Amino acid sequence: MPVEALLARRLELLGLPPLTGVRVTDNRSVMVSLSPRGVLSIHRGYGWASDRVLKAVVRFVAPHVPRARRRAAEREILAFHPEEHAPPLSPGQARRPRAPDRPRAGDAEKIRRLEALFAAFNRDHFDGRLPVLPIRLSGRMRTRLGQLCLRHGSGAPYEITLNRRHVDGHGWAEAADTLLHEMVHLWQHASGHAVDHGRAFRRKAAEIGIAAAARRAVRPGQARRAARLD
Ligand SMILES: [Zn+2]
């Protein structure tokens, strides 16, 4: 049975309403989403997920699920990394060596704007104590919306990279949230905490008013999306 049929069948057995369509994707920044018409898009790597993870998918897209429960479901969904399980699509589509990640026209202006946001956030939320890092837009980030880049070995932060498609496609409010998320990681490093999504991260994120890792999933009136946010 092809992976999409098997996945649709398993989701149905786990309680997904049978009328919902299932579309299998290779989109690596949005893992699970539900269209307003009730079509579930899901990364095909979830074909390799346990029933427990797929039950979380069913809960995540079900209507009238309390917010906390939906958030818990989202955390379970994102804890599974589908791209690590799905084999390449076919020999012909196996990944070719990647093209250089070059800057694009228009990046400079967006980066200036992001640098201004960085300065304002640094002042408002971190007492201006964060070291200023270069910000770069990447066209090849797929599973992540943003990333605090740490040097191999020393673990010292050297750059904040944001996914250009995210910045261009999701608007400045979301891009600013992603930047702030990465700045909380930078704060973790600067204050001697581990750079992770643990308790220190969650406390600081709550203190400055951004929800921890997974907040962008639920937007009232819009499709439910579970996107990776490193
Ligand atoms: Zn993160």
Q: Tell me the pLDDT tens digit for each residue of 179-226.
A: 999 999 999 999 999 999 899 999 999 999 886 554 343 333 334 566
Lowest mean pLDDT among 1-5, 16-20, 189-193: 16-20
Cα(18) to centroid of ligand 1, in Å? Answer: 35
Cα(144) to centroid of ligand 1, in Å? Answer: 9
Cα(9) to centroid of ligand 1, in Å? Answer: 33
The CATH 3.30.2010.10 domain(s) of the chain lie at 107-227
Cα(205) to centroid of ligand 1, in Å? Answer: 10
Cα(3) to centroid of ligand 1, in Å? Answer: 30
Cα(229) to centroid of ligand 1, in Å? Answer: 6
The long-range contacts involving 112-119, CB below 8 angstroms and separated by at least 24 positions, are 113/172, 114/162, 114/167, 114/175, 114/179, 117/176, 117/179, 118/160, 118/179, 118/183
The CATH code that applies to domain 3-89 is: 3.30.2010
Look at residue 220 in the predicted model and tell me its pLDDT: 31
How far apart are alpha carbons 207 and 184 in whole angstroms?
11
Cα(36) to centroid of ligand 1, in Å? Answer: 28
pLDDT tens digits along 24-41? 887 767 788 877 777 788
Strands 135-138 and 157-163 turn out to be parallel
CATH of 107-227, one of 3.30.2010.10, 3.40.50.2300, 3.40.309.10, 3.40.50.1820: 3.30.2010.10
pLDDT tens digits along 53-90? 999 998 888 888 888 888 889 888 888 888 777 776 66
DSSP element (H, E) containing 148: strand 146-150
Phi/psi at 65 (nearest 5 deg)?
Answer: -95, 130
Does residue 227 surpass a pLDDT of 70?
no
CA distance to 162, 176, 202, per residue, from 157 (Å): 14, 19, 20
Token pair of 223 as six digits: 């499709």
Residue type, 212: A
Phi/psi at 145 (nearest 5 deg)?
Answer: -90, -30
Does residue 94 surpass a pLDDT of 60?
no
